Structure 1
Amino acid sequence: MDVRAIGVDGSPESVDRLAAALRAALDGTGPAVFPVRVAPGAEPALPGPVARAAADGTLPDGLAVVVATSGSTGEPKHVALTAAALRASASATEARLGGAGRWLLALPAEHVAGVQVVLRALLSGSEPVVQDLRDGFRPEGLARATARIGLGARRYTSLVPTQLARVLDHGSAPLFALAGYDAVLIGGAALDPGLRARATDAGIRVVTTYGMSETCGGCVYDGVALDGVTVTIEPGSGRVVLGGPVVAAGYLGAPDATAEAFGPAGFRTTDLGSIGPDGALAVLGRADDVVNTGGEKVAPAAVERALLGVPGVRAACVVGLPDDEWGQVVGALVVLEGFPHAGQGEGPDGGLVDGPDGGLTDGPDDAALRDAVRAACGRAAVPRVLRRAAALPERGIGKPDRAAVAALLRTR
């Protein structure tokens, strides 16, 4: 068994090459595929751990795809996905959404969510319709790509919250196009209730997804696990554990990390969660993101929800900042409605724009934001450091870059 690196550069032509390689990998007639982002014309290469696993003959049976994690907690890991797991994921998604349909790829194809769009299309018997992303995501491009989907077929696509917001802000043809989809999967980052309400009011059929590379992408839709997927909360740690046929075979070249993360119950995520009386999963945030301030533990996700509940707040990211007296203090970076987006008036240092007193100059003021957090989460959760930005720093596809946010807040 071997692994082949396939370069993708955002062009439809590179996705066509990836689709052909994925089809062969799923059928067992070609090597496993490692999609990697490259500059136009550049040659892709396998990372060391993947190349060594292939050379040593330690690739798992049935391997079809290898994807790199975003590396948010250190070096990227290389996730081994079998053909059986990928087929199980695609089949469960199709059943949950109501049947086969045409898929539009508007995400980077090297990430698991993009790979899954391509695979779902192939396994439903059609080629994916591909939006050209060489110059980044443009709402107008989504409208043009949608126009290439034939009439009569069900339509599906997958986006991150940032893309959804841009389509809603643009309106006109892109919004009309997105409202014509039978389901728009939203993942990669939490979808705040206000943005979801805007999408629903615009006629967009939003389905939130939760999952990761280690589970072939999203495996919990609108809080409910796909058929065959199990969701449990690990006693003691409170971590979410995802099990079932969609779970990866482990990490290539990382036996210790594999043993730590994968077990009889499934994949041990780094997220804290709870299961409500209705059986729905609520994700409370990453275990290692919890802020310990003066002996009180604060969940950033809860503070973010409180901030997003304030009219005029478009996005929020909450982190812990080191403090000599308290150990850590809560810091928050917010984006306001109507404030210039990235590339349209950022501050001189990474997008931060402060008022004359270090506070917010437009929209809800500091007091209103802090009051909302105090009422929802308690006094310990109130941000000591509060700033606004043109946009949240991101890593991967739509995930807030908490390390970058913390760095920006510390510099101010």
Structure 2
Amino acid sequence: MTVTVKTTSVTTTTTTRSSSGKESSSLLHGKTLGGAWHNVESVSDATYVRFLNARLPNTKENRERVRTSKRRAGDLKLPAHYNAEDWFAMFISLFIVPVGIAMYFVLWALTLPGFIIASLYLASFPKPLRIIERTKGYYLYSVFQFLLAIPALLVTFVYWVYLFVLIMPTTLLFSILTWRIANVSTNWAALKAMRQSTGFTWNDILVSTMGAMYRQGLGEFVFYFPAVVVIVPVLKYLFTCNPFLHRLTPKYINQWTVPLGLTDDQAVASAVQSISWTAHVEKDRADIDNDRFAAHYPLTPAGRAKPAAVGVQFTNSIVNFTKTTHNIAGTGLRSESGKRGIYVVELFFWNPCHMVTGYVEVNVQFEGSIEHPMWCFTGDNYWGNRFYKNVDNLFWNYAPEAGEYFSGHGNAPVSR
């Protein structure tokens, strides 16, 4: 199946966020959402305006058509040159690189045994495995893994203290000398919604990393895993979102698949099968592994008040952790082009394990297409916007891969 990156359709405004569908007591994702999707009337695809070419001629009329459609790729602009913040951050990073390289070797040695045991643990389950139930046996396994992880956790803590002691005082001094300190109060106020605690727990981290590892394979995942604690905090607090260095503003980008010809229920089921199931049959696992990006946002345990989990995002260079909520349909979406929510991904400022700070949604649009709108904070510097633009490019390139997989899994079961 051939799928192009940019879709040929543009939507009109709609205020309805969810589609109709009968709720079943066996719907795992529906239970996790705690939502009754059938209470919200579906929006007919006939209400959307189609554009024959997503790359319309750059005329005033066409710009207005795209603007009023509410479907737009974003307002991110990449600076042409480095500024003083970039040069200063690159200078400070010289003191981090040697320590970071050493950290990779240390973490490879310390984490490999735990990942091998995790691989053996997952091998004991039949595939596909939709959720790791939190049984007594699981908790015994979790305690053992925690004890095994203590040396890696201690090394990571010491490294993070080193980063804090190096980055925060030096950027504060630079901010005072260059009068960027005047932006701090405005930055801090702008980040208010993102200054929450991560809510990460050991068991959620363990479950999500196991699912991500199974998708990529043991060797590949172990090789790239140290990036989440070695590289990612540096990118975040030195280059993309430092309130002392940068004049922070939220910048919007969005990516989407082509229309997949799926119903809303099928689109949700396919996304959940790909992203939230713990372990797949080998053919599906290999398909996901071959993609340039993979996310794992696990299904949450039964009875959890808020359907939120630790998520893992994997690329062939970096690993990120997120806080991801299985969205409750009918409560409204931030995206004006979204029709029904699947996930809300919160990238908190105090989460050192994700390179950007902001708010992300994964939504159904029309004809089963999936969108990925993002509102993340960057400054005026080149590198912060470059890294964010890399994220944008990654998801545009991933869109056809995701679309091809989703379109073939619309009938995925949704029960446990």
Fold match by TM threshold 0.5: no
Structure with the higher strand share, 1 or 2: 1
TM-score with structure 2 length normalisation?
0.26
- Larger RCO of the pair (alpha carbons < 8 Å, separation 6+): 2
Structure with the higher helix share, 1 or 2: 2
